[in-house]
Chain A
Amino acid sequence: MKYVLLLKALLVAALLSSAVASAEGRVPVPHPPEAKGEHCVLPTAEMRRNHMKYILHQRHETMHEGIRTPQFSLKGCINCHAVKGDHSYAAVHIDCFECHASVPTDTAEAKRLRQPIEAFDTRIEAPKGN
């Protein structure tokens, strides 16, 4: 009986691991570089859903009134996040980065950041087979 139980356990484990393996193979999984810093400017759930609204609001204030507070500045986003790669994974086409730099410039930090972001795009693996 003991052996049967052990065999069952092994079988389940094998099945599970093969399921995980096939999921990684068929579905492209992003490996975005970890965002820097301890936390975002607002709770993550809020930012995930509404970041575009905050940025749009700030856009007008910055452009027309010269208000350049760092909290919702696009520059702040790109300092921490791999914005371009994240949006292409979500299949969202936005025009922001036609004009705005998607990585910080002029700093050693920028050069460091550029590397993983380019690497990130190629690390979205195509489905295997077929």
Chain B
Amino acid sequence: MSDNELKAPDQSRRKFLGAGAAALAGAAVAPGVSLMSVAEAKPLDQAVSDKNRWGMLIDTSRCATGCDACVTACNTENGLHRTEHPKTDAHWIRKVELQNRSTGRRVALPLMCQHCENPPCEDVCPTGASFRRADGIVLVDKHICIGCRYCMMACPYKARSFIHEELHDQVEYAPRGKGTVESCTLCVQRVDEKGERRDPACVEACNAEGHKAMYFGDLKDPNSEISQQLSTYESKEIRTDLALNTGVRYRGI
């Protein structure tokens, strides 16, 4: 018997076991609602890859008017503080209220960096500071950002902020400083953390409030809760016409 003949049955056995594990992990308790998803973070010494694409789904029907738990949680997590000049304060996430003029229907939703697959901010950045990580998170490398703010003009979602004043009370995992542009990082420090993956601060806060309007997860993992929700129910990108393929999707707008 040759080596090849010996290897063949082994591989099929592996595939069978793998499929079994995947089926167990994604066991659905109700249509569109999975029991659990495999949410194991990558090891610290491993580079991020395009095997994942991190994204978010926001169910506007569950987003409560007047609630700003996500905004507060984001500010706390990333050390954003009010300055004496509120017009230029940094916002990584905002609560936006929309009203349909003909019907009067109101919708509240959180709006932040949409983590586009083809980000306009990256296109226009003259230094390469705006970039999209392999796993879909759009970031600013503040080491090479020159503060020109082209990205702020290019972003259709008005998601970016410029820091006008010296800062002194940054948190250690979210460096921020004068003369650079910044925006939502999908709490990249949590995404890269070792052990079990934690949701971004806004999602965690929304769940803690009991609204459960935000889902975070891997769009490329068919068993993740977010993928199951997206494949089962209707959802939209904001400004679909721009063909940016955003990582943040909305339901009920």
Q: Which residues of A in the span 25-68 have a Cβ within 8 Å of any Cβ on B?
A: 59, 61, 63-68
Contact B188 A98 (CB under 8 A): no
Bound complex: CA A66 to CA B142 (Å): 15
Query: Residues 155-182 of chain B: 1 if any A CB is under 8 Å from the residue's CB, otherwise 0?
Result: 0000000000011001111011110100
Whole-angstrom distance between the alpha carbons of A75 and B90 in the complex?
24
A59, A61, A64, most chain B CB atoms within 10 A: A64
Q: Is B172 a contact of A75 with CB atoms below 8 Å?
A: yes
Interface digits, B73-87 against A, CB 8 Å rule (1 contact, 0 not)?
000000100000000
Interface size (A, Cβ < 8 Å)?
A: 20
Contact of A68 among B133, B134, B180, B192 (CB under 8 A): B192
Distance between Cα atoms of A66 and B131 in the complex (Å)? 13
Q: Provide the main secondary structure of the chain A interface.
A: loop
**Bound CA–CA A69/B142 (angstroms):** 20
Closest to A104 in B: B172
CB <8 Å contact, B45 and A64: no
Give chain A nearest CB distance to B122 CB in angstroms. Answer: 13
* A59 to B: closest C-beta gap in Å: 6
* Chain B min CB distance to A113 (Å): 11
Query: For chain B, what secondary structure do more than half of its interface residues adopt (helix, strand, loop), or is it mixed?
Result: loop
Contact between A67 and B171, CB atoms less than 8 A apart: no
Establish whether residues B171 and A66, one from each chain, have CB atoms under 8 Å apart when the complex forms: no
A59 touches B143 (CB 8 A): yes
What distance in Å separates the Cβ of B44 from its nearest Cβ neighbour in chain A? Answer: 5
The verdict on A67 contacting B172 (CB below 8 Å), with A98-B166, A98-B177, A99-B142 known, is: no
B143, A66: Cβ atoms under 8 Å?
no
B44 close to A100 (CB less than 8 A) = no
Are B192 and A100 interface neighbours, CB within 8 A?
Answer: no
Are A64 and B131 within 8 A (Cβ)? yes
When chains A and B are docked, how far (Å) is the Cα of A69 from the Cα of B171? 19
Contact with A along B29-53 (1 / 0, CB 8 A): 0000000000000101111100000
Any A CB within 8 A of the CB of B89? no
Given A59-B143, A66-B188, A100–B46 Cβ distance below 8 Å?
Answer: no
Give the interface centre of A63, A103, A104 by most chain B CB atoms within 10 Å. A63
Given the known A-B contacts A98-B178, A99-B142, are A66 and B133 also in contact in the complex, defined by CB atoms under 8 Å?
yes
- Nearest Cβ distance between residue A67 and chain B, in whole angstroms? 6
**A22 interfacial contact with B, CB 8 Å:** no
Which of A66, A69, A75, A100 has most B Cβ within 10 Å? A66
Q: A66-B192, A68-B44, A99-B177 are in contact. Are A106 and B171 (CB under 8 A)?
A: yes
Judge whether B176 and A99 touch: CB under 8 Å: yes
Which residue of chain A lies nearest to B48 when distances are taken between CB atoms in the complex?
Answer: A66
**A-B interface, 3 closest residue pairs, ranked by CB to CB distance from nearest:** A99-B177, A65-B47, A66-B48
In the complex, besides A67-B47, A68-B193, A105-B170, 8 extra interface pairs with C-beta distance below 8 angstroms are A63-B143, A64-B131, A65-B133, A66-B42, A66-B135, A99-B167, A101-B170, A105-B171
User: B residues within 8 Å of A by Cβ?
Assistant: 42, 44-48, 79, 131, 133-135, 139, 141-143, 166-167, 170-173, 175-178, 180, 188, 191-193
A–B pairs, 23, beta carbons within 8 Å: A59-B143, A64-B141, A65-B48, A65-B134, A66-B42, A66-B48, A66-B133, A66-B188, A66-B191, A66-B192, A67-B44, A67-B46, A68-B193, A69-B44, A98-B177, A99-B167, A99-B170, A99-B180, A100-B170, A101-B171, A101-B172, A104-B172, A105-B171
